[in-house]
Chain A
Amino acid sequence: MRRRKLLLILLAITALTFGIITTSYGYWTDQLGLTGEASFEFHLPVVNDVEIPPEIPLEDLQPAEVQSTEQPIDTSTEQPVDTSEVSDQPEPTPVISEDQSEPTPVIIEDHPEPTLVRNEDEPEPVLLTTTEDLLESTETETEGLTTDESAELQ
């Protein structure tokens, strides 16, 4: 009981002392405030990395030039072309030499080899006749056929 009283007295004295000190400090100090806004500038060099093609009015262009400026056709997105439709380019025909006993297909170098143009997503088109098929057919049927007839098989 005594201790409790003593503790209470001590606490009261501490609080009172703190209050007195705070009040007296307040008398001898003062606080002012300064607020503001300031604009700051930043400068940086700019590299002109943009390339713009020169503007040419369409009226000045000749018809041939207009054609040349047209966008090239992107064949990668086109549907696969059936080889049977490529009729302009003559298909390489195997030429059987008379000297050789076994005829071998010879591709004429002057003519470009026809290539299949197809979309990657599309299934691979099946060739109707391959070189191997040609060879096999020539092996089995050469004896009774002439060169012209074997060419017709292709």
Chain B
Amino acid sequence: MKKIFSKVGLLLLSATMVGMLGVSYAGYTDILIAEGELSTGSMSFEFVDAKKDQDFLIGLENNKGKFQELDANIDFDGKSLIITDIDPIDIAVLEDGKSKLLIHYSIKAEDEQSILRAAMIAEKDKRSSLGEIPFELISKTPQWSIAGKSKGEFHSWGSENEAIETVPQVVYDLLPEALGSFHATHILSVDKKGDRMQGIIALELKDSPEILSIEKVKLSEFDLPEEVLREMVEVKKLELSMQGCYGFEIPLSLDQFNAGGE
């Protein structure tokens, strides 16, 4: 018996027991390796396709909330939206805040790692004000015409007449270089699907341009050819129409710092 419990015997026994413990542990466990990356999110939005989703709309809304859509060409390239060829807008419609120019747009996160939502902006939120947006004249040759009715027929003379070769100086003088101040407000909310955000920009004319205070213009100021003036003799109520193209730029800042209101 002494031989069995000798020093060597004890060493072998303990080694066997450790081995058996290892085997039994392995029998009840398994090792799986999981690899992954964790990164902080960032805000990166882009405008989404208008043609597909009809998320872009431009129009006029009057005091009673009636919306009239305007035809326009909308192009977008990631973070910039370009609106051109909007139907001509009668400035008198926007005078004294009678109507507002509304631009509806839609944005979504650029990729899956981006933050899905920016802080929403409510109508009465302080952040909804985008300040004054300048509208500056960009077309060098304005469209103009003098029109009136005679014997039940409508007559018009202007840019399209061959007899009138140049735009009268008075038209250049009357057309304002910049429209009065437009105050812009911005509303941003999450759409029904929850995967994108919808924004509305409202442009309201606060200070009307000086031209709206002019009551009438004299025909003699146009220096029209005699043959055109002879044609105008029988027309009773003459009205001048001028059309100028004005450019604008609206920066949209989105953030997550004030996301508490969501």
Contacts and interface: CB of A to CB of B under 8 A. Distances in A.
B240 interface: yes
A38 B81 CA distance: 14
Given A27-B40, A28-B255, A30-B45, A36 B216 contact: no
A38 B245 CA distance: 6
Contact of B88 (A39, A46, A55): A39
Contact of A43 (B87, B92, B118, B254): B92
Interface of B: 40-47, 72, 79-92, 101, 103, 105, 107, 115, 118, 135, 138, 146, 174-175, 179, 201, 211-212, 214-220, 226, 229-230, 232-233, 235, 237-257
Contacts of A55: 230
Given A33-B250, A34-B249, A38-B248, A45 B238 contact: yes
A44 interface: yes
Nearest to A24: B40
A28 B256 contact: yes
Given A29-B43, A37-B245, A47 B217 contact: yes
A36 B89 CA distance: 14
A29 B255 CA distance: 4
Given A34-B80, A48-B238, A41 B90 contact: yes
Interface in A17-74: 26-50, 52, 55
A36 B247 contact: yes
Contact of A41 (B43, B88, B250): B88
B86 A37 contact: yes
Contacts of A36: 72, 82-84, 86, 247-248
Contacts of A41: 88-91, 241-243
Nearest to A45: B216
A122 B255 CA distance: 87
A49 B238 CA distance: 11
Interface string A65-90: 00000000000000000000000000
A42 B41 CA distance: 50
Contacts of B174: 42, 44
Contact of A39 (B44, B89, B256): B89
Given A38-B86, A42-B175, A49 B220 contact: yes
Contacts of B84: 36-37
Q: Which of A28, A45, A46 has the most CB of B within 10 A?
A: A46
A37 B101 CA distance: 13
